[in-house]
Amino acid sequence: MAWNPDSNNEKAETKEMDIRNLSSSQFHVHSESNLHKVAVPPKQNLFQEFKSTMKETLFADDPLRAFKDQPSSRKFILGIQAIFPILEWGRSYTWRKFRGDIIAGLTIASLCIPQDIGYAKLANLDPQYGLYSSFVPPLIYAFMGSSRDIAIGPVAVVSLLLGTMLSDEMDPKENKAEYLRLAFTATFFAGVTQATLGVLRYYLLGFLIDFLSHAAIVGFMAGAAVTIALQQLKGLLGIKDFTKNPDIVSVMQSVWGNIDQWNWQTIVIGVCFLSFLLFAKYIGKKNRKFFWVPAIAPLISVILTTFFVFITRADKQGVAIVKHIKQGINPTSANQIYFSGEYLKKGIKIGVVAGMIALTEAAAIGRTFASMKEYQIDGNKEMMAMGAMNIVGSMTSCYVATGSFSRSAVNFMAGCETAVSNVVMSCVVFLTLEFITPLFKYTPNTILAAIIINAVIGLFDVPAAILIWKIDKFDFVACLGAFLGVVFQSVEIGLLIAVIISFAKILLQATRPRTALLGKIPSSTVYRNIQQYPEATRVPGVLIVSVDSAIYFSNAGYVRERILRWLMDEEEQVKAACQPAIQFLIIETSPVTDIDTSGIHAMEELHKSLQKKNVQLVLANPAPVVIEKLHSSKFTDIIGDHRIFLTVADAVSSCSPKWVEEEV
């Protein structure tokens, strides 16, 4: 494995170097032609370049791969299957799978019914709208979605977000009809947003979906959990005059300011059953065999407390009850959506935000369970399915539905096999709407509050936050910022903080890239960061600096000055130690992934400054785009083609061959 310095490069290094005149020390430039030359990539014409960039940006996953070289009948079938994955997996559906799905479906149905009623309240809607949203959207999803484990329906965070944003526009009690219409409008546009993202390709608007970092999501979810749990204190304590502001300060003032409204009967029921639910959850976690215990505990609680209130007529003692849920399945609501007027714009705005948050949640769930069971889900199909189900939902009196964390986990553990479990759940909800809703009349609100608190506790992911703290302090700040924003202000502010901090991190990295000094790893030809590898040795007379980022306008000035500062520091040390002066500055450009016109200007200025100091600028391993731009800007002519090397080792050997030879 000898490093053989012969090469096919004959052009470079053949003329005498003028640096010799500048240099008066022992170092001189290697003038033999034995080094690899940095290749300039073959020039593409503009159209090809544009085409390949667009393809990579928009169709990075090559969506038509399966359609290639197929007869047109086959293409048609593949196309239909692409829209309705059920046609693909449905053909291999078996009774054994159905058994799994029916058990899972019944389990998540028993969990979703009480949750739906509670979540509808978070969105300031009547309880039946929560049930409606667990009837139609899961059916649509089952035909179009590609995840096998996700459980579709209303979820806490999206309900809260929708409720907050809608009440900012109008009062949900005073303008009940308009509020409902605006909710359908927002749902419609949430669906349109999702479907559009699906059609326009995941990758075109990739950064709109990936606009939240993992850390920001963890913080946002935890904040939403706290906010939702706090709002449930209204139901749990039986307070009547509760604040409408979601922040922790207002809620705490409401709770302690209205201590006279606390209703002990309500509190006793709520706290007892909350303990029961938490205990059930604990059992389910302890032993996965008992996954069904936490799944059916909410329904059992509802049945028990409803029966209890009905028997004791505790509602006359001040225990608030659900009172009325409209019987019957979803009425049509297509004519209620605002397609013009002032509310159209508001509906679009709310819909876009809610749709994207819903998508973020669904994507995280889908990906998690897919990787557990090791199958692929298709981001585009998922978005199309979500979009379709919300568009249809908005026309059938549903509000924004998405994948629910808690129900999907139960679905998974109950052994679901395909999206048929969603169909089963949907059927149960249908039966509930048709026949059972009157029975909910005496269900106390406090039990719904307990169920919601129990459900959202899972969103408060402490281990994830600890891991984030361990891995990256800046990420933790993003996480904390999102959390505090949601808790102390509102969901929107928290979301805004999360987005801003997420992007600030990218921009900060583009403004202050790391630079490092490199040294030679003993007995190798490899040069690495001397902080990371303290055993690496410096090359006398040569300073090797790596720049850890694309050089753009945002950091060009900084990079230039930072490199000059490395040089000044080094020169001081060298002087103090009476070592030979620095004569070559090698920039390791492997991590420099791109350069723009400002960056090239900065390099030119750096070159000039170095010339004044009699230091020669040398580049090692520029990437294809970088070398291409250096060429077209003639910068390679300024520093000389023979100053650009394939590796740091080549560059060093050409700067001070004597030293290298001595070493070896």
Q: Which of residues 514-543 bind a copy of itself (CB under 8 A)?
A: 514, 516, 521-526, 528-529, 531-535
- Does 594 engage in binding with a copy of itself (CB under 8 A)? yes
What is the pairing mode between strands 402-403 and 515-520? Answer: unpaired
Sites for a copy of itself among residues 393-422 (CB under 8 A): none
Query: Using alpha carbons only, what angle is made at residue 241 by residues 240 and 242, rounded to the nearest 5 degrees?
Result: 100
In whole angstroms, give the CA distance from residue 291 to residue 407: 11
- Sign of the CA dihedral 379, 380, 383, 384? negative
Whether residue 34 contacts residue 658, with contact meaning beta carbons closer than 8 Å, is answered with no
The strand order across the sheet containing 584-588 reads 527-529, 515-520, 542-547, 584-588, 616-620, 644-645
Q: Which stretch binds a copy of itself (CB under 8 A): 83-91, 99-107, 306-314, 653-661?
A: 653-661
| Near a copy of itself by CB under 8 A: residue from 300, 484, 625, 638 | 625
In whole angstroms, the minimum distance from the beta carbon of 470 to a copy of itself comes to 5
CA terminus-to-terminus distance, the chain: 15
In whole angstroms, the minimum distance from the beta carbon of 521 to a copy of itself comes to 6
In whole angstroms, the minimum distance from the beta carbon of 652 to a copy of itself comes to 11
The 422-451 site mask, x for binding a copy of itself (CB under 8 A), equals ------------------------------
| Near a copy of itself by CB under 8 A: residue from 67, 76, 207, 339 | 207
In whole angstroms, the minimum distance from the beta carbon of 492 to a copy of itself comes to 20
| Near a copy of itself by CB under 8 A: residue from 242, 596, 638, 641 | 596
Query: Using alpha carbons only, what angle is made at residue 100 by residues 95 and 101, rounded to the nearest 5 degrees?
Result: 90
| Near a copy of itself by CB under 8 A: residue from 591, 638, 640, 641 | 591
What are the Cα distances from residue 61, in Å, to 145, 147, 367, 452, 461? 18, 18, 16, 39, 32
CA 311, 316, 322, 325: dihedral to nearest 10 degrees? 80
In whole angstroms, the minimum distance from the beta carbon of 338 to a copy of itself comes to 30
The 128-167 site mask, x for binding a copy of itself (CB under 8 A), equals ----------------------------------------
Q: Is 444 strand, coil or helix?
A: strand
Sites for a copy of itself among residues 550-589 (CB under 8 A): 550, 552-558, 561-562, 565
DSSP string, 483-546: HHHHHHT-HHHHHHHHHHHHHHHHHHHHHS--EEEEEEPTTSS-EEETTT-TT-BPPTTEEEEE
| Near a copy of itself by CB under 8 A: residue from 3, 47, 95, 256 | 3
Sites for a copy of itself among residues 115-134 (CB under 8 A): none
In whole angstroms, the minimum distance from the beta carbon of 497 to a copy of itself comes to 15
What are the Cα distances from residue 359, in Å, to 18, 72, 209, 378, 566? 62, 33, 8, 13, 47
In whole angstroms, the minimum distance from the beta carbon of 586 to a copy of itself comes to 15
Please identify, using beta-carbon distances, which residue of 239 and 567 lies nearer to a copy of itself: 567
In whole angstroms, give the CA distance from residue 529 to residue 518: 4
Q: Which stretch binds a copy of itself (CB under 8 A): 6-14, 254-262, 337-345, 481-489?
A: 6-14
Q: Is 174 strand, coil or helix?
A: coil
- Does 210 engage in binding with a copy of itself (CB under 8 A)? yes
Please identify, using beta-carbon distances, which residue of 5 and 331 lies nearer to a copy of itself: 5
Please identify, using beta-carbon distances, which residue of 96 and 473 lies nearer to a copy of itself: 473
Whether residue 477 contacts residue 339, with contact meaning beta carbons closer than 8 Å, is answered with no
Q: Which stretch binds a copy of itself (CB under 8 A): 94-102, 201-209, 264-272, 294-302?
A: 201-209
What is the pairing mode between strands 616-620 and 644-645? Answer: parallel
Sites for a copy of itself among residues 17-76 (CB under 8 A): 36, 39-42, 46, 49-50, 56-57, 60-62
In whole angstroms, give the CA distance from residue 310 to residue 318: 13
Please identify, using beta-carbon distances, which residue of 371 and 614 lies nearer to a copy of itself: 371
Size of the site for a copy of itself (CB under 8 A): 107
Please identify, using beta-carbon distances, which residue of 41 and 331 lies nearer to a copy of itself: 41
DSSP string, 447-485: HHHHHHHHHHGGG--HHHHHHHHHH-HHHHHHHHHHHHH
In whole angstroms, the minimum distance from the beta carbon of 580 to a copy of itself comes to 21
Q: Which stretch binds a copy of itself (CB under 8 A): 1-9, 94-102, 138-146, 347-355?
A: 1-9
Sites for a copy of itself among residues 467-506 (CB under 8 A): 467-468, 470-473, 475, 502-503, 505-506
What percentage of the chain's residues is helix, strand, coil (to nearest 5)? 65, 5, 30
In whole angstroms, give the CA distance from residue 70 to residue 75: 6
The 293-332 site mask, x for binding a copy of itself (CB under 8 A), equals ----------------------------------------
